[in-house]
Chains A and B, each alone.
Chain A
Amino acid sequence: MVQETIVVSNPTGLHTRPAKQVVSEAKNFECDITIRFGEKEANMKSLLKLMKLGISHNHKIDIVCDGTDEAQALAHMKNFILNLEG
């Protein structure tokens, strides 16, 4: 299992449209990918679960990847979220 903490920097946070893009990227990996936000966590491959977290601009989140391609998944998802626009 690998994990990393990042701060969400796009102006609208992990709101519907960016969240949908994140979920679609996450689904390309085999491993389990979890977002932790405060005391809550969600499967990054489920849009509804991700939306329930209510992650906004400047929120600090942990990305946790667990499985065969965990290293690639963590690197890719971290970059993808940090480079979200809108």
Chain B
Amino acid sequence: MGFTDYIVKKKAVICALDAANWEDAIKEGGKILVDKGAATEDYLDNIVRKCKENGPYIVIAPGIAMPHARPEEGALALGYGIVTLKNPVSFHDPDNDPVSLLIFMAAPSVKEHNEVAVSQIADLCDDEEAVEKIIAASSAEEIIDILINQGF
């Protein structure tokens, strides 16, 4: 199942999450992966730990983070989740702060992770118009409609 199909079928969207900071955004927003059975709670802790160790490697474009860890760090199944934030947070990435959109990803193998999941998410993030609409959306349903209408 591709990225959009997954998001639409599983309604894997949280709109306007109220997060105090980047760590909170990952731990609260990431519950979407845990709820859908795609990752363990440890997976989210690993993302936070790795960001502290390596810097904000998950921030991939202005305003957008793609929280993920390695398959063996708690991924259970291929899964995605879109989370928008009520108030943008700083990830301490001067080129891309502040972040308003988080696209969570879990994949059980490196191959799926890289060749399937990452490239699909990059396709969406490269469409600035779609990203702006998603960030401005006021409900999860609206975000799902944007994905369907943009043809991802």
Chain A residues close to B by CB (< 8 Å): 11-17, 20, 47-49, 51-57
User: Which residues from chain A contact B116 at a C-beta distance below 8 Å?
Assistant: 54
* Nearest residue, chain B, Cβ from A49: B126
Is residue B11 within 8 Å, beta carbon to beta carbon, of the partner chain?
no
Instruction: Determine the distance from Cα of A55 to Cα of B116 in the docked complex, in whole angstroms.
Output: 10
Q: Give the number of residues in B that approach A within 8 Å (Cβ atoms).
A: 21
**A-contact bits for B113-126, CB 8 A (1 contact / 0 none):** 11110110111011
User: Which residues from chain A contact B123 at a C-beta distance below 8 Å?
Assistant: 52
A51 and B60 contact, Cβ closer than 8 Å, known pairs A15-B113, A16-B68, A56-B111: yes
Instruction: Determine the distance from Cα of A17 to Cα of B66 in the docked complex, in whole angstroms.
Output: 11
Contact A17 B57 (CB under 8 A): yes
**A-contact bits for B79-115, CB 8 A (1 contact / 0 none):** 0000000000000000000000000000000110111
Contact B114 A54 (CB under 8 A): yes
Nearest 9 interchain pairs by C-beta: A51-B122, A54-B119, A54-B115, A17-B57, A52-B122, A48-B126, A56-B114, A48-B122, A15-B114
User: Which residues from chain A contact B60 at a C-beta distance below 8 Å?
Assistant: 16, 20, 47-48, 51
Jot down 28 A-B pairs with beta carbons below 8 A, ordered by A. Answer: A11-B110, A12-B110, A13-B110, A14-B114, A15-B110, A15-B114, A16-B58, A16-B60, A16-B66, A17-B54, A47-B60, A48-B61, A48-B122, A48-B125, A48-B126, A49-B126, A51-B60, A51-B119, A51-B122, A52-B119, A52-B122, A52-B123, A52-B126, A54-B115, A54-B119, A55-B114, A56-B110, A57-B110
Instruction: Determine the distance from Cα of A16 to Cα of B115 in the docked complex, in whole angstroms.
Output: 12
The one of A11, A47, A53, A57 in contact with B119, judged by C-beta atoms closer than 8 angstroms, is: A53
Contact B61 A16 (CB under 8 A): no
User: Which residues from chain B contact A48 at a C-beta distance below 8 Å?
Assistant: 60-61, 122, 125-126
